[in-house]
Amino acid sequence: MSRLLEIIDLKRWFPVRKDGETRQLHAVDGINFHLEPGETVGLVGESGCGKSTLVRLLTRTLDLTDGQVRFRNNDLGLIRAREMALHPQRKDVQMVFQDPTDSLNPRYTARQTIAESVRLLCGMRGAAAAARVEEAADWVGLPHALLDRYPHQLSGGQKARVGIARAIVGRPALLVLDEPTAALDVSVQTVILQLLDRLKRELDMSFLFVSHDLNVVRLLCDRVLVMYLGQIVESGPTEAVFRAPAHPYTRALIASLPGGLAHGQASASDLLVGGDPQSPIDPDPNRCRLLGRCPRGLAPCAEKGPQLIDIGHDRHVACHYPAVVQHVRQ
């Protein structure tokens, strides 16, 4: 299968001034991953780890420092973010934003919001565009009577549907979802997740699902990428990673989940020690970035930065002392 999206050694550094000298904040620092057509990949990590920067790089709304964003074998990274706005491939990668209230224009009705995407992404006008808007409303289960309402007249779940309709109206191949249900109640969250899962199959899309709610990631994603301070520290099939997390940070994430996950191997002894993460400004490349919070950290961790290595069964981990993982055949 040809890859839909391939990210090669992607970097984005931001210059910051500190104590009178310019230094580099390594927001995304050498990331490699890929997405197959039809796949749902979850991206998890704490706030400030670079998830949003990564998303902005691959939706091409932010210029990259180094590396490649290959989409259907075209290096989209070569296109400047400003030019991407008018690029024909823009409609293939679309995004659903976190807060449905903040991401909708309060002066546009739901119809106008969706119609704007139809006009700009599909180049459609008039009756054809109007029909397309209603078709998108049908996809997301938004009654046509609600199309002429403004965001403040819609409930949270309805606004989420408008945000999704706007993103999928151009039939994107890749939909990037940035915590699409974080602002929703648990009762509505279920409906939206099930809607997304159905749309993915019906419209033949791939998802990159960014979230810090691991329970949701576990339900929706085929594979999961765990990010920590600009780097991917673990990746693999969701079930396997949740059942037997190898990286200490992944173990801590899963052990932190309230309510407890069934059959997981992570326990309270995996919780992170210490307080804040290291600074992302000019990090020492020869030092593990989790050191100081890691319950396992040893001397070699301060001398050599771990690389992402293959541990079999499509799983990768960047740690000198990963937990021993017993692969269970499915």
Partner 1 sequence: MSALIPNAAAEGSIAISGTAAPKAPAALLLEVDQLAVEFRTRSGTVRALEDVSLALAEGETVGLVGESGSGKSVLSFAAMGIQDPAARITAGSLRFAGQDLLAHKGAAMKALRGREMAMIFQNPRVALNPIRAVGRQIEDVLARHTDLHAAARRRRAIECLAEVRIPDPERRYAAYPFELSGGMCQRVMIAIALACKPRLLIADEPTTGLDVTTQAAIMRLISELSAERRMATLLITHDLGLAREYCDRIAVMHAGHIVEVGPTETLFAAPRHPYTERLIAATPVGAASLDDLAAIEGNLPDLRRTDLPSCRFAERCARRGRECDAPLGLVAVGAQHSVACHRPLGTESAEAQHVAFA
Q: Contact positions toward partner 1, by CB under 8 A?
A: 46-48, 155-156, 185-191, 193-194, 197, 212-216, 218-220, 252-253, 255-262, 271-272, 274-276
Of 169 and 210, CB closest to partner 1 = 210
Separation of alpha carbons 59 and 317, rounded Å: 26
Shortest Å, Cβ 155 to partner 1: 6
Shortest Å, Cβ 220 to partner 1: 6
Of 26 and 200, CB closest to partner 1 = 200
Shortest Å, Cβ 261 to partner 1: 6
Write down the residue that tokens 């679309």 correspond to. 94
Of 65 and 98, CB closest to partner 1 = 98
| Beta-sheet pairing, 231-237 with 223-228 | antiparallel
Write down the residue that tokens 């079999």 correspond to. 312
Instruction: Report whether 313 contacts 236 (CB < 8 A).
Output: yes
Contacts of 318 (CB under 8 A, 6+ apart): 231, 232, 233, 234, 247, 306, 307, 308, 309
Shortest Å, Cβ 231 to partner 1: 17
Phi, psi torsion values for 117, nearest 5 degrees: -65, -40
Of 73 and 187, CB closest to partner 1 = 187
Of 95 and 196, CB closest to partner 1 = 196
| Beta-sheet pairing, 206-210 with 315-317 | unpaired
Shortest Å, Cβ 199 to partner 1: 13
